[in-house]
Amino acid sequence: MTTSSDKIVTAIAHTNIALIKYWGKRNAEFIIPYTGSLSLTLDQFYTQTSVQFDASLDQDSVSIDDQLIDGNGWQRVHNFLNIVRQQSGITLNAQVKSENHVPTAAGLASSASAFAALAAAASRAAGMDLDLQALSRLARRGSGSACRSIFGGFVEWQRGTNDADSYAVPIETPNLNDIRIVALTVEKHHKPISSRQGMALSVTTSPYYPTWVKVVESDLQSIKSAINADDFTRFGTISELNAMRMHALTLSANPDFLYFTGDTLEAMNEVKRLRHSGIECYYTIDAGPNVKVICQKQNVAAITDTFSKMFGPEKVTVAQPGPGVKYL
């Protein structure tokens, strides 16, 4: 099957911050996780991607921010496009143009927005008309956390056991709608060990991994209960604790590794100091050095002021719940 090469589809997807973390694959090929996870899609960080299948191309062409990419980055996109081709029956190569409004590989889940946008644009450009559940399943094949970026607000990735039943679902709730995330971009460089490498090492070498699987199940139920009860204190406490338990896996792997820098630790300590002074906030950290401060609307000014003085205002971004994937 071929398609007209004049059909360009553009999609935008926002990144998400995991509050109950995904850390470890049961099946690496299909990216089936050992545990469920829960995230909040953010309005400030996003990827815009255009895809065109074109008979004149002799291989896939991939550019990010007007830079042609090759090597591992190209291979990962090419592999994902092969899945789209397999599912749609199309045989053409594709031109992919992406604009990333997220620092890449710095622990701000750039791959989540990237593959959610790619899944949406590529599937539609290939003539597929997927519902959101099917789109979430497809995005998962590119990056696990991308399955959550298909939806806005609070989202749960149901771990499932296979390709058909592992996908994300939105959590419909009017509660905790004054949540804000103050993102501290203390480091924009590539992290020394990728999430994929880090997960594999933790799963295979940390003696605490089986306990982590049990803990996440409990944390998931607890945080959903806190959202339903509009209980911000419980919500923040669970999020912070779950993040630290994930990073305990990296410290207990062999060889051990750590995503934190000195600035990460400084920010974590400052969040605790603010909390003890009566400004309620909590931190969460994905696989990278950057800290996300979870707070409510009324405390945003005090928190941004504090961290702007510590790190500079250009490193502080205030985000709120963001939308699901959309087409332009």
Are the C-beta atoms of 90 and 123 separated by less than 8 Å? Answer: no
In this predicted structure, what is the pLDDT of residue 244? 98
pLDDT digits (tens, 9 = 90+) for 41-84: 999 899 999 999 999 999 999 999 999 999 999 999 999 999 99
pTM summary value? 0.94
**pLDDT greater at residue 188 or residue 116:** 116
In this predicted structure, what is the pLDDT of residue 106? 46
Cα 235 from Cα 229, distance rounded (Å): 10
Are the C-beta atoms of 110 and 15 separated by less than 8 Å? Answer: yes
pLDDT digits (tens, 9 = 90+) for 195-230: 999 999 999 999 999 999 999 999 999 999 999 999
Could you tell me which residues come within 8 angstroms of residue 256 by beta carbon, excluding any fewer than 6 positions away? 250
Are the C-beta atoms of 176 and 295 separated by less than 8 Å? Answer: no
pLDDT digits (tens, 9 = 90+) for 25-53: 999 999 999 999 999 999 989 999 999 99
